[in-house]
Amino acid sequence: MTGSTTKRTSRLRRTAAAAVAACGAGLSLIAAAPAPQAPQAPQAPETTRVYVWGTDVNMRACAAFSCPPYSGVKVSRMYVTAYCQNTGDTVKDGPYENNYWVQVDAGGPRGWISAVYVRGGGNYDPIPGVSENFEDCF
């Protein structure tokens, strides 16, 4: 009986040792797992300061004449925050013409003005430094 008890005890010890080893390996994997990441706050769109050289420039809700100008909102010879630019209706003023429009904030509602009135661009060229990614407009 002693031999059979010894074999059973030996087998139990090996099983217990294997179980402890397996648990230890499992615990080390759990301990090595990275901590969950906190959700990232949405990034604010990049903005650029631009100079509006025109006087009494209309601001609109879209980059087209189909959107009426905001009532009582004009932009004149000032720096404004530009969020993005996109193509729209072509605007001509003297030797200047452009189909780019720039979404700006001049201290009131955000709206669109023609790139014709923004310093730095050429005819039918975007304004340098202002995002052309439409998603930055919102």
Contact 59, 69 (CB under 8 A): yes
The pLDDT assigned to 26 comes to: 46
The pLDDT tens digits of the residues spanning 43-86 come to 566 899 999 999 999 999 999 999 999 999 999 999 999 999 99
The pLDDT assigned to 20 comes to: 47
How far apart (Å, rounded) are the C-alpha atoms in residues 1 and 18?
A: 26
Average pLDDT over residues 14-34: 49
SS3 131: coil
The better pLDDT of the pair 76, 4 is held by 76
The pLDDT assigned to 88 comes to: 96
Q: Is the pLDDT of residue 25 over 50?
A: no
The closest alpha carbon to 78, from 100, 102, 101, 106, belongs to 106
Element housing 25 (H / E) = helix 2-32
Q: What residues does each domain of the chain span?
A: 1-33, 48-137
